[in-house]
Amino acid sequence: DWRDRSTAVLFGDGSGAAVLKRSKHGKGILSTYFRSDGNLAQLLHRRAGGAAQPFDAAALADRSFYIEMEGREVFKHAVRSMADACDRALDGAKLTGADIDLLIPHQANIRIIEATAKHAGIPMEKVFVNVDRYGNTSSASVPMALEEAMASGRVTDGSTVLLVAFGAGFTWASLVVRF
């Protein structure tokens, strides 16, 4: 919605997927963590769309199809949730931030990325950032960043990578993987 400058300039467009396969001992997924809290959904949502209220001319006219966001509240919950997700995944893998070769966070904005890295004890030199080039590509941000990190040589054989994401609904998740 180009009339809502608080959301229109934030989001980019992209897609991504990961293909998993059996791996050698010591490689692969070391730990995962996933949570959701639907009680906070009204802080970042669309009133229309999907099966409950399919897109139509009325939804476009009354602007209910567009994203609505309470930015400050979303920021607070994103930082808190992503920090917790990092802690849980690291604990599950019996690792610390110092053991991580690269952090690939959801690319919402640089302040959330910096706060997450700081909490996890991971210096920004070990954090992959591409939000400056693509904007917030929503659920595609982590797979896009992972592919770019691999293509640029920042993820190599033996790398231990922490991925962490946050999204609408609210949902948040993390994964520690050794390549």
Residue 12 in tokens:
């980019």
For residue 133, being part of any structural domain is answered with yes
For residue 104, being part of any structural domain is answered with yes
Q: What is the pLDDT of residues 138-171, one digit of tens each?
A: 889 999 999 999 999 999 999 999 999 998 789 9
Q: Is 145 exposed, middle or buried (0-12, 13-18, 19+ CB in 10 A)?
A: buried
**Peptide bond connecting 55 to the previous residue in cis, omega within 30 degrees of 0:** no
Residue 173 CA to residue 109 CA, distance in Å, equals 17
For residue 10, being part of any structural domain is answered with no
How confident is the prediction for the chain on average, in pLDDT? Answer: 91
Q: Token match 């992209």: residue?
A: 14
Q: What pLDDT shows up at residue 26?
A: 83
3-state helix, strand, coil in the chain (%, to 5): 40, 20, 35
Q: What angle do CA 103, 109, 112 make, to 5 degrees?
A: 60
Q: Residues 89-99: what's their mean pLDDT?
A: 98
Q: What is the pLDDT of residues 58-79, one digit of tens each?
A: 888 888 888 888 889 999 999 9
Domain count along the chain: 1
Helix H or strand E segment including 110: helix 110-120
Domain range for 168 is 27-42+70-178
For residue 15, being part of any structural domain is answered with no
Record the pTM: 0.88
Q: Residue 22: is its pLDDT beyond 90?
A: no
Q: Residue 9: is its pLDDT beyond 90?
A: no
Pair 43, 73: CB distance under 8 Å: yes
For residue 47, being part of any structural domain is answered with no
Give the residue among 133, 68, 140, 81 at the shortest CA–CA distance from 112.
81
| Buried/exposed 33-72: b ≥16 CB within 10 Å, e otherwise | beeeeeebeebbeeebeeeeeeeeeebeeeeebbbbbeee
Residue 162 CA to residue 48 CA, distance in Å, equals 34
For residue 116, being part of any structural domain is answered with yes
Q: What pLDDT shows up at residue 86?
A: 98
CATH number, domain with residue 157 = 3.40.47.10
Residue 2 in tokens:
């180009």
Residue 179 CA to residue 143 CA, distance in Å, equals 15
Higher pLDDT, residue 27 or 51: 27
For residue 18, being part of any structural domain is answered with no
For residue 36, being part of any structural domain is answered with yes
